[in-house]
Amino acid sequence: MKRMGIEAIYRRPNTSKPAPEHKIYPYLLRDVEVLRPSQVWAIDISYIPMAKGFTYLVAIIDWYSCKVLSWRLSITMEATFCIEALEDALAKYGKPEIFNSDQGSQFTSIDFTDVLKREKIKISMDGKGAWRDNVFIERF
């Protein structure tokens, strides 16, 4: 659909809005070959249309295996459910070398990035949806 310029006509939220006061980290994966599990994890938020509004789904995946490491649902776009998913993945699987996200306000929030800094994980941020388009389409 993207290649053909086709887009669904329905109301949808913008899940990747940056907050102007939050720090944006550089994209670290431009020429990196992902060769093993826990080298790179990625996170993204999607939405599920409901009768009245949306429910938001966050998922953390291992970029090498494409395994979903943790996920959470929320009725708000607060960073809390993203932090809960991150803490859960860290508790179950250890820590990655690099953690990649888009520049959404949940992922640039101080509370979220502080968890990554505490664990000494390199923070990588790309433009909207770049990791989905470039990596997963190439692999499948």
Mean pLDDT score across all residues of the chain: 84
- 65 φ/ψ angles, rounded to the nearest 5 degrees: -90, -15
The answer on pLDDT for 137 being more than 50 is no
Select the more confidently predicted residue: 48 or 112. Answer: 112
Structure tokens at 90: 């860290």
- What pLDDT digit, counting tens, does each position of 105-130 carry? 899 999 999 999 999 999 999 875 54
Give the pTM. Answer: 0.80
pLDDT-based confidence at residue 52 (cuts at 50, 70, 90): confident
The answer on pLDDT for 43 being more than 90 is yes
Structure tokens at 77: 């776009």
Fold (topology level) of 40-139 = Nucleotidyltransferase; domain 5 (3.30.420)
The domain limits of the chain are 40-139
